[in-house]
Amino acid sequence: MSETTRTYRPRRDRVWFLRSRAYTIFVIRELTSVFVAWTIAYLLLLVAAALDGALPAFSAFAAQPWVIALNLVALAATAFHSVTFLNLAPKATVVRLDGWRVPAFMIQGGNHTAWLLVSAVLFWVVTR
Partner 1 sequence: MSAKATRAGRSTGGERTITLEISRFRPEQDSEPVFETFDVPLRDDWAVLDGLNHVKDQLDGTLSFRWSCRMGVCGSCGMTVNGKPRLTCGTFLTEFGAGPVRIEPLKGFPVIRDLVVEIDDFLAKLSHVKPWLIREGEELPLTTEYAQTPEQLEAYKQYSMCINCMLCYSACPVYVLNPDFLGPAAIALAQRYNLDSRDQGDRLDLLNTDEGVWGCTFVGECTSACPKHVDPAEAIQRYKVTAAMRSVLPWARR
Partner 2 sequence: MIDVLIVGGGGAGLRAAIAVAETDPSMTVAVVSKVYPMRSHTVSAEGGAAGVIADGDTLDEHAYDTISGGDWLCDQDAVEAFVVEAPRELMRLEHWGCPWSRERDGRVAVRPFGGMKRMRTWYAADKTGFHLLHTLFQTTLKYQEIVRYDEWYVTSLVVDDGRVHGVVAVEIRTGRVEAIAARTVILATGGCGRVFPFTTNAAIKTGDGMSLAYRAGAPLKDMEFVQYHPTGLPFTGILITEAARAEGGWLINKDGYRYLQDYDLGQPTATPKLRSMELGPRDRLSQAFVAEQNKGRTVETPYGPVVYLDLRHLGEAKIEARIPFVRELCRSYQNLDPATDLIPVRPVVHYMMGGVHTDLHGATPVAGLFAAGETACVSINGANRLGSNSLPEILVFGARAGAAAAAFAREHREGEAAAVRSQGADEQRRLRRALESGGTGPRIADLREEMQHTLEGAAGIYRTHDTLAKAVETLESLRERAADARVDDHSTTFNTELISLVELHAMLDVAETIVASALNRTESRGAHQRLDFPARDDERFLAHSLVHRAPSGNPSVGLLPVALTRWPPGERIYGRD
Which residues sit at the interface with partner 2, rule CB under 8 A?
Answer: 1-3, 5
Q: Which is nearer to partner 2, 1 or 126 (CB)?
A: 1
Q: How far is the CB of 125 from partner 1 (least distance, A)?
A: 30
Measured CA to CA, the distance from residue 65 to residue 39 in angstroms comes to 16
Q: Which is nearer to partner 1, 63 or 92 (CB)?
A: 92
- Which of 123, 112, 118 lies closest to 83, judged by CA? 112
Q: Is 18 strand, coil or helix?
A: helix
Q: Which is nearer to partner 1, 74 or 90 (CB)?
A: 90
Q: Which residues pair with 97 in a beta bridge?
A: 100
Q: 115 — phi, psi (to 5°)?
A: -60, -45
Q: Which of 9, 63, 65, 128 binds partner 1 (CB under 8 A)?
A: 9
Yes or no: say if 32 and 81 are a contact pair by the CB < 8 Å rule: yes
Other beta carbons less than 10 A from residue 109's beta carbon: 12
What residues from 68 to 127 belong to the interface with partner 1 (CB under 8 A)? 88, 90-94, 96, 98-99, 101
Number of chain residues interacting with partner 1 (CB under 8 A): 27
Q: Which does 93 bind (CB under 5 to 8 A by kind): partner 2, partner 1, none?
A: partner 1
Measured CA to CA, the distance from residue 45 to residue 52 in angstroms comes to 10
Q: Which does 119 bind (CB under 5 to 8 A by kind): partner 2, partner 1, none?
A: none
Q: How far is the CB of 5 from partner 2 (least distance, A)?
A: 5
